[in-house]
Structure 1
Amino acid sequence: MPLPPRPGAGPARRFRLPRSRALRYVVLGSAVGLTAAVATGPARSVAGPAPVNVEQAAATQLLQRPLGTAFGQRSQAEADLGDGTTLAAWELKDGVKEFHLTAAPLTWETEPGRTKQALAFNGRLPGPVIRVNQGDKVRIVVKNDMPKPTAVHWHGMELPNDQDGVPMLTQPDIEPGQSFTYEWTAVSTGTHWYHSHEDGDQEGRGLYGALEVVPTLGDIPAERDFRIMTGDGALGFVFNAKSYPATTSLAAKVGERVHIRLIGTGPEMFHAIHIHGGYFTVVAQDGRPLAVPQQMDTLTVGVGQTYDLIWVPVRPGKWMIHCHVFSHSEVSMGMTGMVTIADVHPATVPLPGIPGVTESQPHN
């Protein structure tokens, strides 16, 4: 004979937390984690289809797509990432992703009316963003079209000693007109960078770029994915090799998760990077996730360091991002140097208000 149903049983029965406090934490934590995963997964965009910046939105979709969709991909064309950087092209050869970098002199305009004698990889400052998946076999052919020798160091990578890129220690100089081929397997996940290791002047003139290794389980989920590479060498005080007002604005919407990859290229100074309009969360340093993410509004970045920040803007407007050492970002005539603007638009979908912080955002 079947047992009678318990009071409250059936489709409309309300979920009850376990009596054990420990089990309550497990259940609640799982629910919150599942909600966050659904709410912030790479395929979702709070922003919807409204045209904030088509190029930046397309670039983020390119970076955030699930790894499985790239299965069988034989090549990657160069692509504008919408933040003043460019995704590097590659071609699959015998199971190896092959990149080409050519270092050469370049006259570079850092801001309207002001040019500098720079050094560039593939005619771009910063150099193209090398982005690969964890476990990829990588080959990078570096050609030197400069009048001086060079070598390239893959900062933060675990690789064979003879591929580390230190001239006269792990390899001979790449002399003018010569090439050198680096080969290694991408095992160091996260945000890193590459740069000339010949001397600080080459790095300070622009011989650097972002190096990103996507973990097997996927990248940090975000609706926007930007890079800010600080520089203080022969090009002056620059973000992504440009001084304000020539820096590229970073477009986003209220409520979006904005991933900012902050990279200190130097070659000499520390910079206190501040975002106006609220705090951000530091989730990784030097490519390694932090066990305890930290919230702050100003972060001091040293030469060689990388940080991954998640910033969720709560109000629309043009919010300043700058080095808080004022001589690096302001003069008597106004803003200059290490300054860019986060151009935040209203959310497409209205968000609930947070008392004392923000109001519900209207429909576009």
Structure 2
Amino acid sequence: MSSRDRSRTSLLSVFGDRGGKAVRYMVVGAAIGLGITGVNVVVPASDSPGAGAPVAVHQAGQADVAGQAAPAQQSAGLLGTGKAQQKQDMVDLGDGTKLAAWEMKDGVKEFVLTAAPMQWQAEPGGRVFDALSINGQIPAPTIRVNEGDKLRFVVKNEMPQPTAIHWHGMDLPNSQDGVPHLTQHPIAPGETFTYEWTAISTGTHWYHSHMHGDQEGRGLYGSLEVVPRLGEIQSDRDYRIIMGDGPLGFVFNGKSFPGTAQLRGAVGERIRLRLIGAGPEMVHSIHVHSGFFEVVAQDGHRKAIPERMDTITVSVGQTYDVIWVPTRPGKWMIHCHVFSHSETPNGMQGMVSIANIEPATARLPSIPGITSTG
């Protein structure tokens, strides 16, 4: 046997002993890498509710309630496995907002949005306000679509004043930008205007009246979320907190504490908070009790390096995506740290939500020599 043959045999022997394990590591590593970028790689969620159940990448239009893991089969029609979803009913997202309904028409997702006056009580037993709503909701329905979706918005104005809807942060034709007296005539009372554009700008954005700040302050605003084909932010729960400071008072998602929705979670879960500054006038300093969170996106754009902090300033028009991983169970405050926006001599009021964090549903294995404190 030549020296070359002996060398080749030696290498093959080494690879035979170790190569199988190396290949397995390479495959697992590739799968993890693909999962991070949003490809539909399903992994077990051992520390989330329903331990052992697969968690799928959250796609637009899924009829899952925020705060629950989305079963993999719910995204089947959206991932090209046979049946394309043709309709989305309204869904309670568990944070005081609702997912907008839509219907597929000739390959276009069509939303019908009706702006109308309504009476609104921001807190139990509190003052009743003259408010403005879209489809009877404050905030307006959460619009969640996929990158590349063709969209149609039929906006009906049943208010006694003209309006227009601006799709904040969207890359779209100038004629669809929703600025009255500039890109379109205002939508007069009793009239309907139809916007059509393709979802290009991914991430967390928002939509709102662009007629004047009073309409926005009375409730004409909502979350606008475009799910990217690749690179979606991974989380176990997905909530939004929209800050309002107009005629309805200091509100999170249209409500003042104790009327705000209480969020659910568990120790060790990745909780996504979409922070949206609807204004129309003020800046808010949002603080999450119990440790820190990571800022992973601003105005829909992923940050190259996430930033750790426990308080973030949100100006009118801005959005931030933060990931919070609770380390201890309990009732933890999420509030504006401008105290006049969230506290009075009688206690919490205004921009305050409570996160009810339960103990972890699965314990990590113990480490020899380290005593667990629970």
TM-score, normalization by structure 1: 0.86
Per-residue deviation, residues 331-351 of structure 1 (Å, max 9, x unmatched): 000001000011111111103
Counterpart code for 2:141 = P
For the structure 1 residues 350 and 97, does the alpha-carbon distance in structure 2 shift closer, same or farther, using more than 3 Å as the test?
same
Alignment of 1:194-233 (within 5 A): 194-217=207-230, 219-233=232-246
Counterpart code for 1:314 = T
| Number of residue pairs the alignment of both structures matches | 344
Q: Does 1:89 align with 2:91?
A: no
2:326 to 289, 313, 325: 313
CA distance in 2: counterparts of 1:47 and 1:332, whole angstroms: 39
2:131 to 98, 109, 118: 118
Q: Which runs of 4+ in 1 moved over 3 A?
A: 1-16, 29-38, 40-45, 54-67, 358-361
SS of the residue corresponding to residue 141 of structure 2 reads strand
- Corresponding residue of 1:107: 119
Counterpart code for 1:342 = A
Contact kept in structure 2, 1:237 and 1:328, CA below 8 Å:
yes
SS of the residue corresponding to residue 284 of structure 1 reads strand
1:296 to 301, 306, 309: 309
Q: Percent identity, aligned pairs only?
A: 60
For the structure 1 residues 43 and 160, does the alpha-carbon distance in structure 2 shift closer, same or farther, using more than 3 Å as the test?
farther
Q: Does 1:56 align with 2:57?
A: no
For the structure 1 residues 175 and 62, does the alpha-carbon distance in structure 2 shift closer, same or farther, using more than 3 Å as the test?
farther
For the structure 1 residues 13 and 190, does the alpha-carbon distance in structure 2 shift closer, same or farther, using more than 3 Å as the test?
closer
SS of the residue corresponding to residue 132 of structure 1 reads strand
Q: Let me know the Cα RMSD of the aligned residues.
A: 3.1
- Corresponding residue of 2:155: 142
TM-score, normalization by structure 2: 0.84
CA distance in 2: counterparts of 1:42 and 1:288, whole angstroms: 25
CA distance in 2: counterparts of 1:321 and 1:42, whole angstroms: 31
Instruction: Report the Cα offset of residue 49 of structure 1.
Output: 2.1
- Corresponding residue of 2:79: 68
Per-residue deviation, residues 60-110 of structure 1 (Å, max 9, x unmatched): 559994740685111111111111110001111111100000001111110
Q: Does 1:78 align with 2:96?
A: no
1:237 to 222, 231, 250: 250
Q: Does 1:281 align with 2:291?
A: no
Instruction: Report the Cα offset of residue 129 of structure 1.
Output: 0.7
Question: Where does the alignment leave 5 or more consecutive residues of structure 1 unmatched?
Answer: 17-28
For the structure 1 residues 33 and 95, does the alpha-carbon distance in structure 2 shift closer, same or farther, using more than 3 Å as the test?
closer
For the structure 1 residues 15 and 247, does the alpha-carbon distance in structure 2 shift closer, same or farther, using more than 3 Å as the test?
same
SS of the residue corresponding to residue 162 of structure 1 reads helix
- Corresponding residue of 2:274: 261
Per-residue deviation, residues 297-316 of structure 1 (Å, max 9, x unmatched): 00000000000101111111
- Corresponding residue of 1:23: none
Alignment of 1:303-342 (within 5 A): 303-342=316-355
For the structure 1 residues 60 and 341, does the alpha-carbon distance in structure 2 shift closer, same or farther, using more than 3 Å as the test?
farther
Instruction: Report the Cα offset of residue 250 of structure 1.
Output: 1.0
Contact kept in structure 2, 1:353 and 1:360, CA below 8 Å:
no
Question: Where does the alignment leave 5 or more consecutive residues of structure 2 unmatched?
Answer: 23-28, 52-63
For the structure 1 residues 36 and 176, does the alpha-carbon distance in structure 2 shift closer, same or farther, using more than 3 Å as the test?
closer
